[in-house]
Structures are given as C-alpha cells and as structure tokens.
C-alpha cells in the first residue's frame, strides 16, 4: 500500500478565506495544512472546527492551540468563542462544514478542475459501477483515480484500503484528488453517498458526469425520512457546471430527477427495457455462465455476453457504457471490453460453483437482497439458501422488510449477525424475524457457525447466498473490528465439506 504525499507549499490565509473580513495581520498568515481532525494537526496548520455526526470539533479547539496551529476557523452558530488571550486568529463562519470543501480545494490547487470527474450515486450499484468504469477506462488507456467503498486506488496501486466510508471527508477528498493529479491521473471516478452530499463533502468537486443508479430504502436512521434522502441525492444533479447526467429511468426517482432537479447540459438515460431511453436492452437471457442481451444505442446496436449474474448488473454495465461513451470513447471499443471486466469483490462473487454454489454479496438493503435472490433464482434451479443479518446502530425499519424478502424468495433462510456494533445480536435477529412467517428460518447469531451449518446441511446442487457484508474483511462488535471474511470462511467450510465427501 502506498502513501499519498502531496507537495503543497504554504498558502496565505486570505487565499483560503476570501471575502471573510480578515484583518491585515491575519491575511498573510502562512497556512501549511488544513484539517478538521485535531489528531492530524501540525504546526502552522488551519483547524476547521465544526459539529460532526458524533462529535463536535469545537470541543477540541484547546487541543489545536496546543498543536501550535496557525489559525482556527469555527462554526459560529450555537457557539460562543472564548477569548484565550492569544494572537492566534479565531474566525467564526456560518455553515463551515458546507464551506470546508471549498477551503480544502483552494489549498490543494482546485484539482477537480484539472481532471475529468465522474460521480456515481444511488442506493445500490455505486460500487460495481465505480469498479467497472475505472477498470474500463484503464483498459482504454486512461490513468484513473478511484474513490469508494472498496477503498482508494490509482490504477492498480492501492492507496488506501476500504475503511467502511464510501466518500471520505471533504478535506481528504481534495487531498486525494491532488495526489491523483500529481501522479498523472486524467480522470477520477467517485462513489458519492447521500451522507457526503448532505454534509457538503463534495461541494467544491467540479463533476463533469454524474450517474444515478437507483433509489431504495437505506440510511433513514441518518436522514429521517425518504424525502430528505431524495433531497440529498438530488444535490449531485443541481449544479449548472455539470456537463452530463446519466439517469436510470427504470427507477421512479430517476424520472423525478429529470423532471425537477437536473441542471446538466446533457442528459443520457438508460433502461433494461424502455426504448425511450438513450441506451436500452432487449432479448435479455441468463444461464449459469452469465448474461446476454442486445444493446441499443445512438452509437449502434450490438449483442453482448458477460460473465455477470443478474439484470441489475446489466443495468450497472449500461451506466458504465453511457459514461465512457459520453467521454468520447468509441462505443464498439467499449462494449468489446465488457466481457473481460473483473467482478467487484463481494458483489455476486462466486466462491464455488461445484457440488454446491456459494455466492457472497454485499446486499444489505431490502431492494438489494431482492435483486440478489431473484438473480440467483434466474440462474439456477437448485434449492436456494439465504444467510444474512442486519447491521446494528443503523436503520431498524429495514430489518423486518429484509426478513420478508428472504422468506419470500429463498427456500431456506438462516439468520445471523452482520456487524452488530453496540446492539445485542439476538435483538437484531428478533427484528428481522418480525417480518418472517413462523417456521421459515434457522437462527444462529454466530456468523461463522451459521455458514458452517448451511454447508453441512446443503445438498449437491443447492445455491447458498451469503449476504450483507460482501467485500468486508471484519465484523464490528461493541466497537471492536475483528477479522472476518465471508469469502474466506466459506472457502474454508467448502474444503471441510470436500474432505467429508
């Protein structure tokens, strides 16, 4: 794993905070770095102190002073600054969190204006689209930065491993973009979460292309209701600077975006079946080896066959095709490379297709679980097992819904722990059970034992979907992340099964 050094010379405070009424003595103070995390501050840095989701950065102002920072900018709403008798500048601003992206962008030389920037948002499909589009552009000769759920990469170089955060904080985003630019990147593909949009983490990222995949139930523990969730997603498409919006019109909210929120200069739509879309499909077929279809587009019609399972993955691929075509790459060159794209880790990842088929997928919402199970059903005639749980300290309302989906679409349901975090695993399982008819499930809170039990019970020809954690290589329990990898555990159990046979 490589580091991300960014050579930035010091910058006068006035360049970072224009039009904020700085005094003459404050204006020329040299700033050597910018951070909203007091633990990462160095001498001569600018500390941005504002309330976060779980902590208030203003509580760490004294710590920042002790770190010998050059200046402190704080969120002035709901906060009375204390005169510390210091020559250190204390500057109060409103909506500082929303302004932090612009401050960081100025410090790092506005890197997003010097690259092609592609954003992907939606409840499901962000990671697959980001992974595939990055791989496709690399194969077409473009040096690509990638930021998302699977971590941070520049080409084949892993810069930062997956951390559980889809979109980094506003300062880290600008630092990463500057690093990409310094290393020769021509474009960056980013997953942009609803949290990031709501908190302004990408406010000063100049996106050229924005992709909307779909909208389902997720993150209502944060947003409160679906209306607020939609409003956050729509922010990505409200910029007049956006060149191209790529919209899935099979999703109702996609149509709503087009009608109410789009300000992009160009709109490209895609669909699995709607021939009013810019790009749409027909003659879709599935078998054990993948999917095939006919792609219709303004650039031509072509038949493709790809080793990926599910209609929703075909939709994700069409989003990728639309993006690359909008960037000016040849349509036929694009589609010729689709069958060679690698499958994203933990996204309908086939661990084994001999004796029993074992698939690991990140599905952690009702919609995603339904898509995954329908996909498994469309590719196999065997008995389908579904092993899953729900994350603790997250939207509790989706638990019963996911239970109902599993009970309806799987032949055997095994309930277990996901990342229980601070919650009692059995309590989470009880919430899931409330959506399941009596007697339709097996309960084993220990995820390792749950996977073991399924592979003991399954018959040859059965299909086992292990859902919820996908690429994650940990399980979070009571604030501690312990090593746990669904793919590794399933592989281990398959070896035990083979020895018993």
Query: Quick one: tokens of 311?
Result: 């209609």
* 3-state SS, residue 191: strand
* 3-state SS, residue 82: coil
At residue 3, the pLDDT reads 44
pLDDT tens per residue across all 501 residues of the chain: 344 456 667 999 999 999 888 888 899 999 999 999 999 999 999 999 999 878 899 999 999 999 999 999 999 998 887 666 567 889 999 999 999 999 999 999 999 999 999 999 999 999 999 999 999 999 999 999 999 999 999 998 988 877 767 899 999 999 999 999 999 999 999 999 999 999 999 999 999 999 999 998 565 665 567 888 899 999 999 988 999 999 999 999 999 999 887 888 999 999 999 999 999 999 999 987 889 999 999 999 999 999 999 899 999 999 999 999 999 999 999 999 999 999 999 999 999 888 999 999 999 999 999 999 999 998 888 999 999 999 999 999 999 999 999 999 999 999 999 999 999 999 999 999 999 987 789 999 999 999 999 999 999 999 999 999 999 999 999 989 999 999 999 999 999 999 887
Tokens 């779909």 appear where? 214
At residue 9, the pLDDT reads 77
Read off the DSSP letter of residue 434.
Answer: T
Q: Judging by beta carbons within 10 Å of its beta carbon (0-12, 13-18, 19+), is residue 294 exposed, middle or buried? A: middle
Query: Quick one: tokens of 208?
Result: 């050229």
Is 109-340 CATH 3.40.1190.10?
yes
The secondary structure of 201-227 as a DSSP string is TTTT---SEEEE----S--HHHHSSHH
**How far is Cα 171 from Cα 437, in angstroms, rounded to an integer?**
48
At residue 224, the pLDDT reads 63
Nearest Cα residue to 195 out of 164, 165, 155, 215: 165
The count of C-alpha atoms lying within 13 angstroms of the C-alpha of 81, restricted to the half-sphere facing its C-beta, is 18
At residue 216, the pLDDT reads 80
Q: How far from 40 is each of 36, 126, 372, 420, 475, CA to CA, in Å?
A: 8, 30, 41, 29, 27
- Kindly give the residue spans of alpha helices, DSSP state H, lying in 352-485: 366-379, 397-409, 425-433, 447-457
Query: Quick one: tokens of 15?
Result: 């360049």
User: Do residues 291 and 313 touch, judged by C-beta distance below 8 A?
Assistant: yes
At residue 2, the pLDDT reads 43
Read off the DSSP letter of residue 12.
Answer: E
Q: What's the CATH superfamily of 349-500?
A: Mur ligase, C-terminal domain (3.90.190.20)
The count of C-alpha atoms lying within 13 angstroms of the C-alpha of 231, restricted to the half-sphere facing its C-beta, is 10
Percentages of the chain per state (helix, strand, coil), in multiples of 5: 35, 25, 40
Each domain of the chain, given as residue ranges in start order, spans: 11-106, 109-340, 349-500
pLDDT, tens only, 190-245: 999 999 999 999 999 999 999 999 998 565 665 567 888 899 999 999 988 999 99
The secondary structure of 33-80 as a DSSP string is EEES-GGG--TTEEEEE-B-SS-BGGGGHHHHHHTT-SEEEEE-TT--
Contacts for 426 with CB less than 8 Å, ≥ 6 apart: 445
**How far is Cα 365 from Cα 221, in angstroms, rounded to an integer?**
13
**How far is Cα 393 from Cα 147, in angstroms, rounded to an integer?**
25
pLDDT, tens only, 31-68: 999 999 999 999 999 999 999 878 899 999 999 999 99
Contacts for 209 with CB less than 8 Å, ≥ 6 apart: 116, 117, 118, 119, 242, 243, 244, 245, 246, 323, 326, 327
User: Do residues 358 and 466 touch, judged by C-beta distance below 8 A?
Assistant: yes
**Other C-beta atoms within 10 Å of 296: how many?**
17
CATH architecture designation of domain 11-106:
3-Layer(aba) Sandwich (3.40)
Contacts for 453 with CB less than 8 Å, ≥ 6 apart: 414, 442, 444
* Backbone φ, ψ for residue 166 (5° rounding): -65, -50
Nearest Cα residue to 35 out of 51, 23, 47: 47
Taking every pair of C-alpha atoms in the chain, what is the biggest distance, in angstroms? 81
The continuous run of DSSP H or E covering 283 comes out as: strand 279-287
At residue 225, the pLDDT reads 76
């Amino acid at each position: 794993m490589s580091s991300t050094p960014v050579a930035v010379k010091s910058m006068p405070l006035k360049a970072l905070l224009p039009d904020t009424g700085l005094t003459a003595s404050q204006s020329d103070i040299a700033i050597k770095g910018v951070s909203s995390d007091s633990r990462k501050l160095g001498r001569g840095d600018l500390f941005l102190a504002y309330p976060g989701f779980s902590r208030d950065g203003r509580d760490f102002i004294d710590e920042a002073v002790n770190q010998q920072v050059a200046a402190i900018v704080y969120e002035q709403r709901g906060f009375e600054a204390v005169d510390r008798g210091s020559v250190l500048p204390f500057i109060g601003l409103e909506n500082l969190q929303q302004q932090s992206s612009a401050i960081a962008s100025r410090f790092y030389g506005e890197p997003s204006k010097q690259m092609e920037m592609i954003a992907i948002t939606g409840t499901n499909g962000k990671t697959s689209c980001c992974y595939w589009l990055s791989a496709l552009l690399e194969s077409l000769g473009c040096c690509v930065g990638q930021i998302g759920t699977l971590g941070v990469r520049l080409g084949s170089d892993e810069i930062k491993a997956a951390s559980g955060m889809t979109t980094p904080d506003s300062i880290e985003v600008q630092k990463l973009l500057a690093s990409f630019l310094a290393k020769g990147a021509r474009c960056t593909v980013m997953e942009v979460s609803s949290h990031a949009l709501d908190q302004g983490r990408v406010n000063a990222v100049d996106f050229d292309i924005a992709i909307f995949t779909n909208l389902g139930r997720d993150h209502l523990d944060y947003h409160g209701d679906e209306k607020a969730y939609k409003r956050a997603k729509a922010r990505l498409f409200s910029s007049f600077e956006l060149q191209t919006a790529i919209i899935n019109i099979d999703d109702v909210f996609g149509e709503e975006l087009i009608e109410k929120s789009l300000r992009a200069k160009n709109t490209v739509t895609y669909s699995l079946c709607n021939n009013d879309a810019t790009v749409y499909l027909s003659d879709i077929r599935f078998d054990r080896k993948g999917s095939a279809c006919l792609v219709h587009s303004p650039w031509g019609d072509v038949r493709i066959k790809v080793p990926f399972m599910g209609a929703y993955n075909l939709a994700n691929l069409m989003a990728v095709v639309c993006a690359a075509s909008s960037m000016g790459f040849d349509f036929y060159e694009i589609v010729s490379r689709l069958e060679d794209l690698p499958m994203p880790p933990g996204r309908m990842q086939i661990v084994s297709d001999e004796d029993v088929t074992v698939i690991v997928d990140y599905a952690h919402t009702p919609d995603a679980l339904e898509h995954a199970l329908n996909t498994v059903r469309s590719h196999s005639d065997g008995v389908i097992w579904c092993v899953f749980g729900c994350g603790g300290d997250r939207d509790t309302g989706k638990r019963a819904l996911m239970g109902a989906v599993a009970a309806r679409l799987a032949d055997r349901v095994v309930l277990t722990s996901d990342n229980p975090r601070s919650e009692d695993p059995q309590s989470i399982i009880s919430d899931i059970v409330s959506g399941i008819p009596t007697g339709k499930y097996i309960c084993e809170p220990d995820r390792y034992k749950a996977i073991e039990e399924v592979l003991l019970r399954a018959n040859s020809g059965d299909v086992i979907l292990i859902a919820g954690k996908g690429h994650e290589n940990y399980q979070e329990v009571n604030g501690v992340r312990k090593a746990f990898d669904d793919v590794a555990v399933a592989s281990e159990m398959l070896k035990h099964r083979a020895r018993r046979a």
